[in-house]
A and B are shown apart, each in its own frame.
Chain A
Amino acid sequence: QQQVKQSPQSLIVQKGGISIINCAYENTAFDYFPWYQQFPGKGPALLIAIRPDVSEKKEGRFTISFNKSAKQFSLHIMDSQPGDSATYFCAAKAAGNKLTFGGGTRVLVKP
């Protein structure tokens, strides 16, 4: 059972454009929502994270928007750069310590 659904599977954006990745979840016990960035041959690295008591969090060019009632959250990458080309994973955590990851979105930023 996929508890965190991520879309799209891939996207192409022009340099300077906005990349938007969406995630939806079912488990209302989730209380922590991180996003990870993964380059080929590397492990995932934490990009930004949010708790459900806030609706938006911004760090540099990266913004998480969170809609608790809709059980959805999204990552916006502003002014996308070729160096942002990577696979992005949303994740969620309930009680305990294990993260449940989405299926990933491969982002390609064209120069």
Chain B
Amino acid sequence: GAGVSQTPSNKVTEKGKYVELRCDPISGHTALYWYRQSLGQGPEFLIYFQGTGAADDSGLPNDRFFAVRPEGSVSTLKIQRTERGDSAVYLCASSLRARPEDTGELFFGEGSRLTVL
């Protein structure tokens, strides 16, 4: 497909478990973002990659959250020792250009819904 692909679409896990969420950006998009959307809320920024490096990780809530993008394409968001409060939809977005206002429109995936029991 031509859009941003996220897997799994749904993940149910138990409190304390480790979770990985994967994002396949649109081919050729150098910028990649992770956002978290709680029920009835707007997306909340987590981390931004430009190429392989995390250019801004100021939105990661604590050290249980970590994200990588080793080859500058696919990214994985990793959550250790999951808590019930981590339950949300995790959205990935990619853009062709570094700055959203430079017609670097963010294209969002459909998200990975994480439920921590």
Contact = CB atoms under 8 A, between A and B. Distances in A.
Given A32-B101, A97-B33, A43 B108 contact: yes
A73 interface: no
Interface in B28-73: 31, 33, 40-45, 48, 50, 55-56, 58-59
Contacts of A101: 42-44
A98 B56 contact: yes
A98 B42 contact: no
A98 B105 contact: no
Nearest to B99: A97
Contact of A99 (B40, B55, B58, B100): B100
Nearest to B4: A43
B117 to A, nearest CB: 21
| Range class of the B interface residue count | 20 to 34
B55 A97 contact: yes
Contacts of B99: 97
24 contacts: A32-B101, A43-B4, A43-B91, A43-B108, A43-B109, A43-B110, A44-B108, A45-B108, A46-B105, A49-B101, A89-B42, A91-B42, A93-B101, A96-B55, A97-B31, A97-B48, A97-B50, A97-B98, A97-B99, A98-B33, A99-B45, A101-B42, A103-B41, A103-B42
Interface of B: 4, 31, 33, 40-45, 48, 50, 55-56, 58-59, 91, 93, 98-101, 105-111
Interface of A: 4, 6, 31-32, 34, 41-46, 49, 51, 89, 91, 93, 96-104
Given A93-B101, A104-B41, 19 more contacts: A32-B100, A32-B101, A34-B100, A41-B110, A43-B91, A43-B108, A43-B110, A44-B91, A45-B108, A89-B43, A91-B42, A96-B48, A97-B33, A97-B55, A98-B45, A98-B56, A99-B43, A101-B42, A101-B43
